[in-house]
Structure 1
Amino acid sequence: MRGDYRHWQRIPTRWADNDVYGHVNNVVHYAFMDTLINTWLVEAGLDIHSGRQIGLCVESHCNYRASVSFPQALDAGLRIGHLGRSSVRYEVGFYSEGREDVVAEGHFVHVFVDRTTRKPVEIPEHLRTAMEGLVVA
């Protein structure tokens, strides 16, 4: 349900997102999830260019409920289902613009690592504080 998500971003589809079957191709949903999550992280203070910590995707999944096609826009909801010491599971719901029916649901798991060594590190405190506002029970 829409009310289960804590952060929202509208994502327009593009002409090139449609495949030969006339709908947004399944791989595009993963790019949308990546865009939603990383936009939120940058806004929350993650320095993607030179910060000491970076988040690496170690798992992703998507269930498709309905098709969408260009020029539809999607309302993308973001929440956090699990917040660990160095990992976080983001959960995403895609809804047709202004509608209550979910078209796709997915998740990404990020492990935060040192940019140089690629060894797991604790999620930076300022990000953890921001992430706590997205956590759902």
Structure 2
Amino acid sequence: MNKPLAQPRSAYRHFLPITTRWMDNDVYGHVNNVVYYSYFDTVVNEYLIRTGVLDVEQGATIGLVVETQCNYFAPLVFPERIEAGLRVARLGTSSVRYEIGLFKEGADEAAAQGHFVHVYVDRATRRPAALPEALRAALAPLVVEERS
């Protein structure tokens, strides 16, 4: 299995500054691996809410995570500030593959990067639903060519 290379900042289309918290560190003195997924979720949902395409209380469709993955290249620690980069690698009929890079503030190379896939479903039935046009339009600026 070949480990992917850390991507540069220029590979991402949207950034969100995130301040690490004391509780993010583990006993080994660095941000615990499970917290990285929280950062992933934060940058995606911040973007969706800010662009007006995610109504967490009453939206007709919701995104359910069906796949996640992360590669770690360098530790992040409290009290560092990080910058979460976001791009969309695949925009399907009812799913989106979001890719995220986590950068130490000002760094050009990702300390960690990964992805998660949302399958969009009807809120009531939980059955897959086509991506709403407003969501497609909001995600269009984030789309990059698929990487192998």
Compute the displacement of 1:101 (Å).
Answer: 2.4
**Normalised by the size of structure 1, how large is the TM-score?**
0.98
Q: Which residue of 2 aligns with 1:9?
A: 16
Number of aligned residues: 137
Superposed, 1:79-118 pairs within 5 Å as 79-118=87-126
Q: Which residue of 1 aligns with 2:144?
A: 136
Superposed, 1:67-78 pairs within 5 Å as 67-78=75-86
Unaligned stretches of 5+ residues in structure 1: none
Can you list the C-alpha shifts for 1:65-103, whole angstroms capped at 9, x where unaligned? 000110001111000000001000000001110111210
> Which residue, 122, 125, 135 being the options, matches 2:130?
122
Write out the 4+ residue segments of structure 1 that deviate beyond 4 Å after TM superposition.
Answer: none
Compute the displacement of 1:44 (Å).
Answer: 1.9
Unaligned stretches of 5+ residues in structure 2: 1-7
- Output the CA distance in 1 between the equivalents of 2:79 and 2:60: 39
Please give the root-mean-square deviation of Cα atoms over the aligned residues, in Å: 0.7
> Higher strand proportion, which one?
1
**Normalised by the size of structure 2, how large is the TM-score?**
0.91
Can you list the C-alpha shifts for 1:7-57, whole angstroms capped at 9, x where unaligned? 000011000000000000000000010111111111122111101100000
Identity %: 55
Amino acid at match of 1:29: Y
Q: Which residue of 2 aligns with 1:58?
A: 66
Secondary structure at the counterpart of residue 54 of structure 1: strand
Q: Which residue of 2 aligns with 1:38?
A: 45
